Amino acid sequence: MSQGPDRAQARPPAQKDGAAKSAGPAEGLVRLIALERQARRCESRQELAFTMVNWTHRLIPYYQALFFRRGGGDNGASPVLEAVSAVATVDGNTPFALWARDFCRSLLQRYPEVKLQQIDPGRLDKATVAGWQQWWPAQVLLCPLRGRNQALLGLLLLAREEPFLPQELSLLEVLSDAYGHALAAFQSEARRGLPALSTKKRRTVGLTVAATLLALLLLVRIPESVLAPAEIVPRDPLIVSSPVRGQIRDIDVQPYQMVRRGQLLFHLDDTEMVNQLALAQKNLQVVQAEYLRAEQKAFSDPLSKADLEVLRVQAEEKALIVDYTRQELERQKISAAQDGMALFSDRNDWIGRPVAIGEKVMTLADPARAEIRIMMPVDDAIALEPGAAVRLFLRTDPLNPVAATISRTSFKAEEQPGGGLSFVLKATFDGPEQERRIGLQGTAKVYGGRVSLFYYIFRKPLSVIRREVGL
């Protein structure tokens, strides 16, 4: 509704209902009883407010009705406009709503007794009277709504051009009591049991209680915990490395394949060693032939016996070279030293790749002997001791965590492949030894000692402050 200089244009639309005039005594009692019954049947405060501003017109004719709920502020002097007749939804930011709120506040200040009565413009200030003349008719009736112990719960204002009659005031006095009783039914039990306090006192009490509860809550000790990425790894695996320098020609097993002791795992390119063996064997044959010829010549030439010893030593040397070369050729084939699962990356990543002496190629692990490798970031590090509890949430089965226990902790942070420093923790599975798939990843929740809730919440912020500020 818009505000303008013309009062007829500035007023809200008048209440229109079938009751155009006051009802007679008998009919008025009937309507009064019907309104009381309807008010007691309301299921919410909003429904009751709608009934008060709209259905009261069936008993007493009026131009417009407003319902104000007692709000905050000292002595309840901040009323809240909750319902306006012939209006479905109240917008508290409209010019009329703002003026009505100020008007009601002025009534509470000028009429501290707050009883059923017609408002006398002479008791109001000039600004309030000017707004009254702009927005409302000449007659305004104040109807207080009280609950138990005569506590003021709200105000019902009725406005019209004609003065209110004594019989109308009698009916409204009874109806106001019924409205107040119905309104009190929707007050919370907590509010009913508390003494009337000012807004400042209620705020002070509320803040005190909240601060006390918060302080007590922060002193509660809870288990400290941290989340860290984890992976199931083999326990005490056998590292298979290259015994010699060379180039991998072929991988004879598949990743995660179970192998037996003595089974061929991979072999290096032996072309050079084969050639060296052939050459050594040829040299051996030559020396052996020379030794045989010198031995036959010694029967006719005694002087040639001196060469036999030299040729014999050379033949032994060449034989040793052949044996060494043959052993080196056998070393080009690497076999499994024990039963286990072959753990390595894709075969195509290794074929044709040069390797150095001692370079790791794969790992042999027992699937039944597995443990958890936990990478705890430095920023999330907490005090841990061997025996701390762990719950592993695997990505393949996050709803069924696996219980474990910390067995080893690193004293120094290590740089991880993905970047960042982390402490490496090892944990063993609780319960009987059972086969678990090596290589599964997930998130481990590691439990430390019991700390206060305050420390648990502010541990990381305090750590950042100490690191950045130096406190």
pLDDT category of residue 2 using cuts at 50, 70 and 90: very low
Q: What's the whole-number mean pLDDT along residues 318-347?
A: 83
DSSP string, 280-297: HHHHHHHHHHHHHHHHHH
CA distances from 1 to 13, 87, 100, 101, 405 (A): 9, 11, 13, 15, 72
Looking at CATH, the fold of the domain delimited by 7-187 is given as Beta-Lactamase (3.30.450)
pLDDT in tens, 349-368: 888 888 888 888 888 888 88
pLDDT exceeds cutoff 60 at 191: no
Comparing CA positions, the residue from 257, 234, 255, 232 lying closest to residue 440 is 232
In angstroms, rounded to a whole number, what is the distance separating the alpha carbons of residues 136 and 398?
A: 68
Structure confidence at residue 442 (pLDDT): 92
Q: What's the CATH number of domain 236-268+333-365, 2.40.50.100, 2.60.40.10, 3.40.50.300, 3.30.360.10?
A: 2.40.50.100
pLDDT category of residue 54 using cuts at 50, 70 and 90: very high
CA 200-201-202 angle, to 5 degrees, is 95
Parse the chain into domains and list their residue ranges.
7-187, 226-234+369-469, 236-268+333-365, 270-331
Half-sphere exposure in the Cβ direction for 404 (13 Å, CA) = 30
What's the whole-model pTM score? 0.45
Count of positions (residues) in the chain:
471
pLDDT in tens, 61-113: 999 999 998 875 444 457 889 899 988 888 888 888 888 888 888 888 888 77
In angstroms, rounded to a whole number, what is the distance separating the alpha carbons of residues 328 and 332?
A: 7
pLDDT in tens, 416-441: 777 778 888 999 888 765 557 888 89
Structure confidence at residue 302 (pLDDT): 65
Structure confidence at residue 9 (pLDDT): 35
In angstroms, rounded to a whole number, what is the distance separating the alpha carbons of residues 466 and 457?
A: 16
Average pLDDT of every residue of the chain: 80
In angstroms, rounded to a whole number, what is the distance separating the alpha carbons of residues 179 and 360?
A: 88
Please tell me the CATH code under which domain 226-234+369-469 is placed.
2.40.30.170
Structure confidence at residue 193 (pLDDT): 42
CA distances from 421 to 43, 199, 340, 415 (A): 62, 54, 32, 5
